[in-house]
Structure 1
Amino acid sequence: VIITGRGGGSLEDLWNFNEEIVARAIHACPIPVVSAVGHEIDFTIADFAADMRAPTPSAAAELVVPDQKELQNRITKSSLAVHRAMLNRLKHDSAILQSARRALMPRDAEQALREPIQNLDRIREDLKSTVDDQLDLMSHRLKEATILHAAHHPKRVLQRRSEKLDHARSMLERVGKNALMHAEDRFKQLASLIRTLGPESTFARGFSITMDAEGNVIRDAAVVTDGDHLQTQLASGKVTSTVTKEKK
């Protein structure tokens, strides 16, 4: 970018920028030209021949060199917001799953569900890695766009930068939504499996669980003796009994 300008002055001081040869040279220049002559109230022919006019030389400098840190901060804040939202949702769903597992699963069902739960943990780590990779890719593309900035017209560069920022935000939102949808599907599948293998479905078919006074499950009549107090869990309610005779 070329800036043609000077500070304020009289009409005679600024007259060079009204010369035909200057106007034609500015118009024919292949490099974008910003005209910044005098103060805001001053106008010259060079202003109309240039690609863009700035009210003062200082304003021209600000126009052609936008605040790169501000643009980077905007995309960083957007990326972190999506990242935090996804991690919080996964953490919340994982806590619900763990609570449901502790409340519903007997020991045999816990063994059957251990592998699916481990798979869910791996999927969560993979999703986190995918989002991190997308953030790194967006940051790399932003740096490349910054390098190319100097070779383009400032107005068009700012427009493209804004479009890239919107595209990056949309992509991050899609990645976050897809990750959450996938995690929710896995959560629903595991919840359904918990209900299938949980004690309630077993009780509903007429089975029961008998435990001793300490809460240990009785699997063999040989472990009880006369006078032991037992508690039997049914589909609806519990039955307390005392051993009078055991048959091995």
Structure 2
Amino acid sequence: ADKKRPLPVYPKVIGIITSPTGAAVRDIITTIKRRYPVAQMLVYPALVQGENAAPSIVSAIEKANDDGRAEVLIVGRGGGSIEELWAFNEEQVALAISASQVPVISAVGHETDVTIADFVADMRAPTPTGAAELAVPHIEEVVEKVVTRKTRLIRAMSEKIRRERKRYETVKSSYIMRNPETLYRQQAERLDRLTEKLVKEQALYLKQTHIRINELTNRLQRSHPGKKIHESTIEVERLKNSLIRQMQAVFSRKEDEFKRKVSLLHALSPLKVMERGYSLTYTADNQIVKSTTDVKVGEELRVRLSDGSLYCQIQSMEEDKNGE
């Protein structure tokens, strides 16, 4: 049921898919002409029985959809045996009806005849004549509705005109219309009041704005960046001078300490000892000689004095047994 599409209420063009020579097409055309003569009918001829009936019906449905003029399709034929109606039980016919973009009324056989096409169609009619009656309204009913609505519209318009005329007369006879200057006099007075209010509020707003500007100006002067820059410059200069003094003090301390350590180093230097007549003796491999046991006769030695070195060869050795 949710796949069934509603039929158009007042279709202008009705498509008829059936045999053009059967009684069904005559019944449909006669009924539509009698009920709704303003409608146009398009007959799409198709075979409705026999081996080629199903493809013919499918072709006619597709042609009607491609044509695009018909607003509703009547697909069917007159009564007959189940074999004669079998084309409307074919799957391809059912699929074509289901795929149709135009709503379809099935009208196959008599009221007791039921085919698969009846279940697939958007509306089932018991007979071709019944399909024509479902497809279009009765012209007399349409005319009656039009006349009824026309009468209601005339009555409604007449009532509206009467109310508007009465309203017009009321407005026309009102005090303000008889004395129109009252209207603009009141508005002029209101305009004067609003103008006066606007001037006062504008003056108050300007005064408050001026006070606010003065406050912000004073705050800006107190927090002016130039003042902060000047203060920061003084602070930087003070820190710079403090840093210079501290660096000079550090340099002075380090210089005194360096001099003390140089003096100490100078005092402990072997060269100072050598200036008093001492010397250092080294072997050929630059090892200092501390005892006679460190060398042997014939070995070459280097004697380091305060002002140079002497290269000697041991001629003989004498051991001091008394430590003198």
TM-score range (shorter-chain normalised) is 0.3 to 0.5
Query: Which of these two proteins has the greater Rg computed from alpha carbons?
Result: 2
Identify which of structures 1 and 2 has the higher relative contact order when contacts are C-alpha pairs closer than 8 Å and 6+ apart. 1
Structure 1 length-normalised TM: 0.40
